[in-house]
Amino acid sequence: MQILESKLVSEIKIQNTVTTADLKQEIDIASFNKYEHLSSNLDLYACGYVKDDSMIGRVTVFRNGKLISVGTKSPKNSKKELKKASRILQKYKLSKSIKIIPQVRNIVSRFDLKRKLDIEHLARTLPKSLYEPDQFPGLIYRLPDSCVVLLFASGKGMIVGAKTIEEINSTFFETKTRI
């Protein structure tokens, strides 16, 4: 049975999805540069990368078998790219066949309220908000038991820390009702 992904509110666009999985085995990342769609630079980073022509993002592979997918615009695509990376590693006999269990860790999304915001006023009235213009030009608004919203005077904002589309939607609506 396939679970359908919830629909994102039209005012919101996903910027990036971070999803992880575990191959539960050691991976020879030192050999990655011998294969198509695999690369590594172990002088700089203790990991390798999987990216083929059909992938939007890329998958980082660690020696311990942990995988991280970044750069996709949906949880569905992020999970697909992890599965594809696993198949590519199996194809080159760098990993044994295993059913991976992808876990969405962070969906970063953006929105535009199409109106200017008085950030200083919001900083005084929104609970759990932080505004230090010398450090960061936006208001950092932490919703209870939820995501973090970054709000800018232009009316644009970002939602970070979401794990589901539903969480993004509810954070957006809650933020809109409070500002």
What are the two backbone dihedrals, phi and then psi, of residue 46, each rounded to the nearest 5 degrees? -90, 50
Give the model's pLDDT for residue 125: 95
Q: Which residue has the tokens 């962070």?
A: 106
Q: Residue 1: what pLDDT?
A: 39
Residue 152 phi/psi, 5-degree rounding, is -120, 155
Is there a common fold for 17-105 and 113-178? yes
Could you tell me if 87 and 99 are in contact, meaning their C-beta atoms sit under 8 angstroms apart?
A: no
pLDDT of residue 81: 98
Each residue's pLDDT expressed in tens, for the chain with a length of 179 residues = 344 457 999 999 999 999 999 999 999 999 999 999 999 999 999 999 999 999 999 999 999 999 999 999 999 999 999 999 999 999 999 999 999 999 999 999 999 999 999 999 999 999 999 999 999 999 999 998 779 999 999 999 999 999 999 999 999 999 999 99
Task: State the CATH architecture for 17-105.
Answer: 2-Layer Sandwich (3.30)
pTM attached to this predicted model? 0.90
CATH class of 113-178: alpha beta
- Chain-centroid distance of CA 128 in Å reads 23
Does residue 31 come out as left (phi exceeding 0), alpha (psi in the -120 to 50 range) or beta?
alpha
> How big is the chain, counted in residues?
179
Residue pair 168/175 in contact by the 8 Å Cβ criterion:
no
How distant, in Å, are the alpha carbons of 86, 91, 131 from that of 136? Answer: 39, 46, 8
Instruction: Kindly list the domain boundaries of the chain, sorted by start residue.
Output: 17-105, 113-178
How many Cβ atoms are within 10 Å of 64's Cβ, its own excluded? 11
- The answer to whether 164 and 172 are in contact (CB under 8 A) is no
